[in-house]
Structure 1
Amino acid sequence: MKSLGSIRRSFAPWNDPQARPYISFQNVTKRFADFTAVNNLSLDIYEREFFALLGASGCGKSTLLRMLAGFETPTSGRILLDGQDLSGIPPYKRPVNMMFQSYALFPHMTVEANIAFGLKQDGMPKAAIAERVAEMLKLARLEQFAKRKPHQLSGGQRQRVALARSVAKRPKVLLLDEPLGALDKKLREATQFELMDLQQDLGLTFVVVTHDQEEAMTMADRIAIMDKGQVMQVATPAEIYEAPASRFVADFVGSVNLLEGKVASRTGNSVVISGGSGAQISVENAGEAAPGAEVAFAIRPEKIRVSSKPPAEGHLNAMQGEVWDLAYLGDMTVYHIKLDDGQVVKASALNSARISDDPLTWSDRAWISFAPDAGVVLTR
């Protein structure tokens, strides 16, 4: 059985028809006056899942998280956690904890006092608190910073303190609202893997809100792409990238070329699409696209071959144009090819050798080509 992208782990309860969702949003709507932030949304999240809500600012993802935490009340619909309806349950009585982007650490308290704060509020015995704090310090690799105060820590260390405090109370679900937004790029990348490892070690359900595509693709088991208060697609990172469900998702995640055309013929699961310039595109696994339908062919830049010579396979899935622009990035070269019909296509090629045997530069004539299974047909 072929798979889309690399397999990260065998955990996939959403594929089991017997599995019961751990968190369930059922026809949830949230309105603020005349603005609808979340619009009749239904979504299931499973136990021990690392789930990401991904979308642009204002798409409703943070509102969804706040309703799950209890800071906002749905206008209509239900939210269930482990089968229990959360309506009417205040935030402090919900088995969830929320970690904010600002971290919200107490500046006058030490690291260990910050971690212990929630446990003391719950009336846990002193010996149990000390044991739990020691466990959290070790888990977050903060033992040597236990006596320091937040202003004496780096951004990454403060982030780990906030995380340790959030999981110290053993919530069933940890909610993270843009948790890595305050970190620099290099530290953010390292912390993404730390979060994944921590989630695996703790066995908790993580729900993270982010507008950073790379962050969601790196950390999440599944991603919900949101737009205007609705979920556009829910799938694994590989499925979102390799098999987007619509033009919106294809364009939102990563870089993509969208070639518009009409389905000229269909044989089994394969179709031939006629483009505006007369180009013929053969596509395998074309979904529900019917002959005569107006569709878009979506293909990622790395799936396109660029050459000064026409492909040996012939003119099917091949187009000619001019090198309109290019960028040498060290590990790869990015080409912008202006096709003869005027559309600019982006292609990328790994620089696996130090010297190219087919160098191309500005204004050169060039061919682009791709395999029949390199892209997907989008009907919406």
Structure 2
Amino acid sequence: MAKTRTQTIGAVRRTFSPWTDATATPLIRFENVVKRFGAFTAVNNVSLDIYEREFFALLGPSGCGKTTLMRMLAGFEDPTEGRITLAGQDLSGVPPYRRPVNMMFQSYALFPHMSVADNIAFGPKQAGMAKADIDARVEEMLTLVKLESFAKRKPHQLSGGQRQRVALARSLATRPKVLLLDEPLGALDKKLREETQFELMDLQMELGMTFLIVTHDQEEAMTVADRIAVMNHGVLVQVDPPAAIYEQPATKYVADFIGDVNIVECVVDGCFGGDLRLSTPITPHPLQIAQGDAGGVKTGDKVWLAIRPEKLRISLEAPDAAAGNCFAGEIFDIGYLGDLSVYHVELPCGTRIKVSQPNLSRMVERPISWEDKVYVTFTPHAGVVLSR
């Protein structure tokens, strides 16, 4: 049974992309939204569409405006300019308790004097549901988050992960159209956080609800979201599925913010067929890079080459001429992370680049060590040329 469910979830996630359908109607729409606090602009002219059943992530550093955007959707803040609609309804003037959304806070905000069951029942009671319906809803939520045997416990008798599940069940008990998650996994340890990310994904698919998560954790956003909006200084920098955000960043900021990356300043020497030839002070030889989406650049332009560490290859032996682009350098530092090793290679000009390699076999003796002379190579398709 579990296998069938997994296959079903996989099939849905592979084909789910309403944002590519020009006829699809967004569930949530931010239209030229601005939010100012005095002279400070927290959100600056944001327009964004989020679709029904989408797991959407707002990602960015502290102070970038992502939480303010969520709070405006929840009704805790009012836009200074622009408007927000939900299922076609303008939310201007609609108080939080009248909106079909619910928020799960980072602190969980559970009532300490109430049992798990009573915490979950709080929302339905406030909504005026009949007692029999409330009892059925609480039982349903406890089963959903696998806490059936914890119904009578108080929050202080639960682990952090269990409290997180109670907060999630309480948020879902009123069956909102949209669930807002404000850094929901920040209080969990790394292993539990990773496990819970996949549970959240499965739960969202099972319920068929729209989830909007705010996080500064790049791995969390990349794991759970159908699409990610990267924010910086109140502005949307890029909105795309996780693979596009990682492999085709729109700017240096996005490339640098998402995962590890080497960013090399270059000048365009020319374009040959589908490749750009770039000159850079870190190597005497020009680099050949597949042009990709950098079609707007021309000879003489300053650009930046972004290369992920895992796209590079490292060797103690000099490559032959057909190996492609090459840097020669010396091992400055090594990080052993178990599943992979990270090498910091210092080039003759003093620049350091990072190379990561999977540890495919058990390491008895380190093949590449400190101060070794090494060669780093990469193919023309390994890097992305950025003009801003």
TM over 0.5: yes
Match in the other structure for 1:361: 369
Which ranges of 4 or more aligned residues in structure 1 deviate by more than 6 Å? none
**Offset at residue 329 of structure 1 (A):** 2.2
Change (3 A) 1:293 1:315: farther
Alignment of 1:77-156 (within 5 A): 77-156=82-161
Match in the other structure for 2:5: none
CA contact under 8 A between 1:243 and 1:376: conserved in structure 2? yes
**Offset at residue 279 of structure 1 (A):** 2.9
Is structure 2 residue 236 aligned with structure 1 residue 231? Answer: yes
Is structure 2 residue 240 aligned with structure 1 residue 214? Answer: no
User: What SS class does the counterpart of residue 317 from structure 2 fall into?
Assistant: coil
Is structure 2 residue 386 aligned with structure 1 residue 378? Answer: yes
User: What SS class does the counterpart of residue 110 from structure 2 fall into?
Assistant: coil
The count of corresponding residues between Structure 1 and Structure 2 is: 374
Deviations 1:208-256 (CA, angstroms, capped at 9, x unpaired): 0011111111111111111000011111111111111100000001000
Match of 1:253 among 244, 253, 258: 258
User: What SS class does the counterpart of residue 118 from structure 2 fall into?
Assistant: helix
Match in the other structure for 1:352: 360
Q: After alignment, is 50-59 or 335-344 more displaced?
A: 335-344
Is structure 2 residue 333 aligned with structure 1 residue 325? Answer: yes
Match in the other structure for 1:284: 290
Match in the other structure for 1:293: 301
Match in the other structure for 2:249: 244
Structure 2 CA distance, aligned partners of 1:356 and 1:8? 41
User: What SS class does the counterpart of residue 318 from structure 1 fall into?
Assistant: strand
Structure 2 CA distance, aligned partners of 1:327 and 1:114? 46
User: What SS class does the counterpart of residue 279 from structure 1 fall into?
Assistant: strand
Structure 2 CA distance, aligned partners of 1:29 and 1:278? 48
Match in the other structure for 1:4: none
Structure 2 CA distance, aligned partners of 1:8 and 1:96? 23
Amino acid at match of 2:355: A
Q: CA RMSD in A?
A: 1.6
Is structure 2 residue 37 aligned with structure 1 residue 32? Answer: yes
**Offset at residue 358 of structure 1 (A):** 8.7
Deviations 1:89-140 (CA, angstroms, capped at 9, x unpaired): 0000001001111111111111111111111111111111111111111001
Deviations 1:10-58 (CA, angstroms, capped at 9, x unpaired): 2111111111111111110000011110011111111100011111110
Match in the other structure for 1:171: 176
Match in the other structure for 2:50: 45
Match in the other structure for 1:59: 64
Match in the other structure for 2:276: 271
User: What SS class does the counterpart of residue 284 from structure 2 fall into?
Assistant: coil
**Offset at residue 291 of structure 1 (A):** 2.1
Q: After alignment, is 276-285 or 43-52 more displaced?
A: 276-285
Q: Which runs of 5+ in 1 are unaligned?
A: 1-6
Structure 2 CA distance, aligned partners of 1:8 and 1:322? 44
Amino acid at match of 2:287: I
User: What SS class does the counterpart of residue 157 from structure 1 fall into?
Assistant: helix
Deviations 1:43-84 (CA, angstroms, capped at 9, x unpaired): 111110001111111000000000000000000001111111
Change (3 A) 1:80 1:354: same
Match in the other structure for 1:3: none
Deviations 1:148-202 (CA, angstroms, capped at 9, x unpaired): 1111111111111110111111100000101011111111111111111110111
Match in the other structure for 1:196: 201
CA contact under 8 A between 1:279 and 1:316: conserved in structure 2? no
CA contact under 8 A between 2:268 and 2:276: conserved in structure 1? yes
CA contact under 8 A between 2:324 and 2:379: conserved in structure 1? no
User: What SS class does the counterpart of residue 19 from structure 1 fall into?
Assistant: coil
**Offset at residue 8 of structure 1 (A):** 5.2
Structure 2 CA distance, aligned partners of 1:169 and 1:279? 63
User: What SS class does the counterpart of residue 132 from structure 1 fall into?
Assistant: helix
User: What SS class does the counterpart of residue 180 from structure 2 fall into?
Assistant: strand
User: What SS class does the counterpart of residue 15 from structure 2 fall into?
Assistant: coil
Structure 2 CA distance, aligned partners of 1:213 and 1:49? 18
User: What SS class does the counterpart of residue 278 from structure 1 fall into?
Assistant: strand
**Offset at residue 336 of structure 1 (A):** 0.6
Structure 1 CA distance, aligned partners of 2:253 and 2:245? 11
**Offset at residue 330 of structure 1 (A):** 2.3
